[in-house]
Amino acid sequence: MTPGSDTLTGTGTRSDLAFLTDTPRFLFFTGKGGVGKTSIACASAIHLAEGGASVLLVSTDPASNVGQVFGVTIGNTVTPIAAVPGLSALEIDPEQAVEKYRERIVGPVRGLLPAAEVASIEEQLSGACTTEIASFNEFTDLLTDAAWTVAYDHIIFDTAPTGHTIRLLQLPGDWTEFLETGKGDPSCLGPLSGLEKQRAVYAQAVAALGDPERTRLVLVARAQQSTLAEAARTSGELVAIGMERQYLVVNGVLESDGGDPLASAIRGREQRALGARGDALSALPTDFLPLKAGNMVGLAALRGLLSVDETATVEGDAAGLSAFASSPLSALVDQIAADGHGLVMLMGKGGVGKTTMAAAFAVALAERGFEVHLTTTDPAAHLTDTLAGDLENLEVSRIDPAVEIERYTDHVLATKGAHLDEQGLAMLREDLRSPCTEEIAVFQAFSRVTREAKHKFVVLDTAPTGHTLLLLDATGSYHREVSRQMGSTMHFTTPMMKLQDPTQTKVLLVTLAETTPVLEAAGLQEDLRRAGIEPWAWIVNNSIAAADPASALLQRRAANELPEIDAVRSRYATRVALVPLLAVEPIGIPSLEALLTGPTSDKTGGPEEPHPRAQLQS
């Protein structure tokens, strides 16, 4: 397919896939959550392996679902995919990576140092900063260790959602620069003690990432303004760090409407979004993959993803699907509003609509006269675009790591640095330049926001699952440290205690009626329960089944949703809201209000006019 081409060509198995032509050794897939990065990465790995290459598929996402897609257990060791000769997979598990890294640091001194000192070192190695370094070391080994390059023709990286992928790809340069200028804050001495040995490895990683003969970056998007805008921003940021050879894959394009007004509206806005994607993206070699009827789980579905013909068959009765629209979002808002104040946290896999749901809750509560603070910890979130307007009683903000680092740095310099001489200030500034500072700064911002919930509603749109868990890990570490210092005789309240109290915090899990998002939400629920946090409700968003479509393709997708909706209601949730897919994008306050009650007359109307600030669900 030629750069900028807007059509699908050929039949059967695709032979014109630009992003898989003359494939280099390293292939990175990135994009906004929910665009299909994992499915395309897995399908590409199968395609290359069945073409005779030896392939290693690696997930760098803390919430990896590669194993679910293949239907096998993978984990932090190389696992052959038995059904595809030549293909193996690896999930970089943050917890296992940390344990391995911690033992590498602590093992040599265990038995040589007093137990108290060993325990102190282990405590220093318990934060999210250590998780970042440990996972990153695993990543750089794959780029630089000759053993990997000898064993595999291609290493494919299925990455975390965009904002965190940018962070991962920036790290070689960040840590290399940091090693040249300072030793880090004392709180990071544990994890940083092993970094000096990595200087040469990081330099090699920088070289590999910037070499188009070795590395290709594939931007994955949907035919939606929000994901295309995210791809454009990502493209610019990657060019800035030397990754100039990029490709674009637009996934899930609806090719025909079958006379269905809902499908016609969706197709119309997809075509408008593609037409307005801008010169930078239009210039990239581009492939368009059609929307499929089935879930991308199992080898048959994955093989079909890179073909033009729709070969999937779905058994199921599509009649009477609109009966599932009997669980409106407004019922959850009514119960939350009865408390008068509190923290409402939206969590889930990337791309399920957390930002839109958070905005809808905030608008509903503000219109009932409550003071509301709507904020996000997601680097890729765009709350102002989703709201597309102002509302009385509603404050909107974002926990921006760069802003929080500056705030934290200024505070430390004004307090700890107030009485230091020039040499001491220079050392303190060096400490604060550590990438570990971000962990502390973001956690402090999160804690500050939770305090506001004492007298107002705080609606928090979180980052995708894995990164939210890292934030909660920092919250738990802080809670344990405060508990240790305060003992059992002192009264205190930590952010973790607020999260565990359903009278103060309502955690809402957002999912789609698809296999992988539901399984991931169920996994997140178990993780939260282990931390003493019980999810309050589930939201099944963008349900085609609840929209009662007429298109044959959409009806087949709707039939696939029914078992997932039933699983949520019967196995996982005590409270459920079902939000149907609407013809009109939920952008702007009136459209967000419409989400509360379910389908409107828009479902049977024609294609809507594009909103000047239109953006699909985050």
Do 340 and 203 reside in the same domain of the chain? no
SS (H, E, C) 567-611: HHHHHHCCCEEEEECCCCCCCCHHHHHHHCCCCCHHHHCCCCCCC
Number of helices (H), then strands (E), in the chain? 24, 15
Active-site pick, 30, 38, 162, 465: 38
Residue 340 has pLDDT above 60, yes or no: yes
Do 396 and 299 reside in the same domain of the chain? no
Q: How many residues does the chain have?
A: 618
In the annotation, is 377 catalytic?
no
Q: Is residue 257 part of a domain?
A: no
DSSP string covering 207-256:
HHHT-TTTEEEEEEEESSHHHHHHHHHHHHHHHHTT---EEEEEEEE---
Give the strands of the sheet with 372-376, arranged side by side: 394-396, 372-376, 457-461, 342-347, 505-512, 537-543, 576-580
Who wins on pLDDT, 200 or 598? 200
In the annotation, is 36 catalytic?
yes
Q: Is residue 274 part of a domain?
A: no
DSSP string covering 113-150:
B-HHHHHHHHHHTSSHHHHHHHHHHHHHHHHH-HHHHH
- What pLDDT score was predicted for residue 476? 47
- What pLDDT score was predicted for residue 367? 92
Pick the last residue of a domain from 279, 305, 331.
305
Do 540 and 482 reside in the same domain of the chain? yes
Do 326 and 214 reside in the same domain of the chain? no
Residue 590 has pLDDT above 80, yes or no: yes
Active-site pick, 32, 37, 349, 354: 37
Neighbours of 371 (CB within 10 A): 16
Do 515 and 578 reside in the same domain of the chain? yes
The percent of residues in the chain predicted with pLDDT above 70, rounded, is 71
CATH code of the domain covering residue 212: 3.40.50.300
- What pLDDT score was predicted for residue 458? 93
Active-site pick, 34, 294, 351, 476: 34
Taking the alpha carbons of 451, 454, 459, 465 in that order, is the dihedral positive or negative?
Answer: positive
- What pLDDT score was predicted for residue 201? 67
DSSP reduced 3-state for 80 = strand
Of the candidate ranges 259-263, 356-360, 469-473, the one whose mean pLDDT is the lowest:
469-473
Do 178 and 86 reside in the same domain of the chain? yes
Domains contained in the chain, number: 2
Of the candidate ranges 109-113, 227-231, 417-421, 437-441, the one whose mean pLDDT is the lowest:
437-441
In this prediction, residues 183-208 reach a mean pLDDT of 54
Residue 73 has pLDDT above 70, yes or no: yes
Query: What's the pTM?
Result: 0.72
In this prediction, residues 239-265 reach a mean pLDDT of 86
In the annotation, is 39 catalytic?
yes
Q: What is the pLDDT of residues 270-329, one digit of tens each?
A: 999 999 998 889 999 999 999 888 877 788 888 888 876 544 444 444 444 444 446 788
In this prediction, residues 504-531 reach a mean pLDDT of 88
Pick the last residue of a domain from 260, 281, 305.
305
Active-site pick, 23, 30, 31, 36: 36
Q: Is residue 197 part of a domain?
A: yes
* pLDDT grade for 208, boundaries at 50, 70 and 90: confident
* pLDDT grade for 119, boundaries at 50, 70 and 90: confident
In the annotation, is 236 catalytic?
no
Neighbours of 119 (CB within 10 A): 12
Domain of residue 42, residue span: 22-219+295-305
Q: What is the pLDDT of residues 136-160, one digit of tens each?
A: 677 777 877 778 878 899 999 887 6
DSSP reduced 3-state for 533 = coil
In the annotation, is 107 catalytic?
no
Residue 20 has pLDDT above 90, yes or no: yes
- What pLDDT score was predicted for residue 479? 41
Do 213 and 326 reside in the same domain of the chain? no
The answer to whether the beta carbons of residues 318 and 557 sit under 8 Å apart is no
Do 386 and 301 reside in the same domain of the chain? no
Active-site pick, 32, 61, 498, 543: 61
Do 301 and 372 reside in the same domain of the chain? no
* pLDDT grade for 170, boundaries at 50, 70 and 90: low
Q: Select the highest-mean-pLDDT range: 87-101, 472-486, 565-579.
A: 565-579
Do 299 and 333 reside in the same domain of the chain? no
Do 299 and 377 reside in the same domain of the chain? no
Q: What is the pLDDT of residues 356-374, one digit of tens each?
A: 999 999 999 999 999 999 9
Give the strands of the sheet with 55-59, arranged side by side: 79-80, 87-91, 55-59, 154-158, 26-30, 215-222, 246-253, 286-290
Do 564 and 467 reside in the same domain of the chain? yes
d(CA 235, CA 246): 8
In this prediction, residues 395-423 reach a mean pLDDT of 82
d(CA 383, CA 225): 15
* pLDDT grade for 420, boundaries at 50, 70 and 90: confident
Pick the last residue of a domain from 238, 270, 305.
305
Q: Is residue 251 part of a domain?
A: no
Q: Is residue 415 part of a domain?
A: no
Q: What is the pLDDT of residues 281-296, one digit of tens each?
A: 999 999 999 988 887 7
Q: Is residue 275 part of a domain?
A: no
307 forms beta bridges with 13
In the annotation, is 353 catalytic?
no
- What pLDDT score was predicted for residue 47? 94
Query: How many degrees, rounded to 5, is the angle at CA 152 between CA 148 and CA 158?
Result: 85
- What pLDDT score was predicted for residue 10? 33
Active-site pick, 23, 30, 39, 59: 39
- What pLDDT score was predicted for residue 64? 63
Cβ-proximal residues to 595 (8 Å cutoff; 6+ apart), any chain: 329, 356, 357, 360, 579, 582, 586
The answer to whether the beta carbons of residues 533 and 498 sit under 8 Å apart is no
Q: Beta 87-91 vs 79-80: how paired, if at all? A: antiparallel
Q: Is residue 469 part of a domain?
A: yes
In the annotation, is 605 catalytic?
no
In this prediction, residues 485-490 reach a mean pLDDT of 44
Q: Is residue 96 part of a domain?
A: yes
Active-site pick, 131, 135, 140, 516: 516
Q: What is the pLDDT of residues 427-460, one digit of tens each?
A: 777 666 665 566 677 777 777 887 888 899 999 8
DSSP annotation of 73: -
User: Mean pLDDT across the chain, nearest whole number?
Assistant: 76
Q: Select the highest-mean-pLDDT range: 12-16, 244-248, 418-422.
A: 244-248
